[in-house]
Each structure stands twice: as structure tokens, then as C-alpha cells.
């Protein structure tokens, strides 16, 4: 029984010891890039020129269409759309 518990504990610890090299290699990259942009243009917060983009009415209509379509699910590509 004792050996079984030791084996179980060792198995659980080995599962925790795995690393995530893809995630770890990019950890904090976006934060550092944002910080660099804030340092590069410190007066950007005082810019009153609006960003070109979607107006409020079009954005609201798009959001409402998105909410209305939320109940519908697209057919899966993996199983050929079969339900």
C-alpha cells in the first residue's frame, strides 16, 4: 500500500513538472510592446483626434445582430455538418 501511495504521488508530481515552452517563450511580449509604445509617444493620451472607424449606430446594429445570432450554431466542419 505504501509503495502505491509513493508511486501515485510521484506520478502527480511529474505531471506538474511539465513545461510550456511555447507559452513561456512569449510570456509578457504584448505587455512589453505596449509599455514601449507608451514610452515612445508619451503625449498620445492628449491626442483629441478621433480614431477612424465604425460610428455608434453601425456598431450598435452589428452588436445586436451578433447577440441575435448567438443562439444559432454553425455546422461543424469536422463532421460534415451532421447533427
- Asked whether residue 73 carries a pLDDT value surpassing 70, the answer given is no
Average pLDDT taken over every residue of the chain: 77
Q: What average pLDDT does this structure show over 16-37? A: 77
- 82 Cβ partners below 8 Å, 6+ apart? 76
Residue predicted with more confidence, 56 or 10: 56
Q: What is the pLDDT of residues 13-22, one digit of tens each?
A: 766 665 666 6
pTM: 0.29
Q: CA angle, corner 51, sides to 28 and 49, nearest 5? A: 115
71: pLDDT strictly greater than 90 = no
Higher pLDDT, 16 or 60: 60
Cα–Cα nearest to 66, from 77, 54, 76, 78: 54
Distance from the Cα of residue 73 to its chain's centroid? 21
Q: Which residue has the cell 450598435?
A: 60
Amino acid at each position: 500500500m505504501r509503495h502505491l501511495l509513493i508511486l501515485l504521488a510521484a506520478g502527480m508530481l511529474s505531471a506538474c513538472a511539465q513545461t510550456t515552452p511555447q507559452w513561456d517563450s512569449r510570456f509578457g511580449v504584448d505587455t512589453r510592446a505596449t509599455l514601449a509604445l507608451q514610452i515612445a509617444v508619451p503625449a498620445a493620451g492628449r491626442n483629441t483626434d478621433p480614431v477612424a472607424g465604425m460610428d455608434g449606430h453601425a456598431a450598435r446594429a452589428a452588436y445586436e445582430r451578433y447577440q441575435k445570432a448567438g443562439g444559432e450554431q454553425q455546422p461543424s466542419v469536422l463532421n460534415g455538418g451532421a447533427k
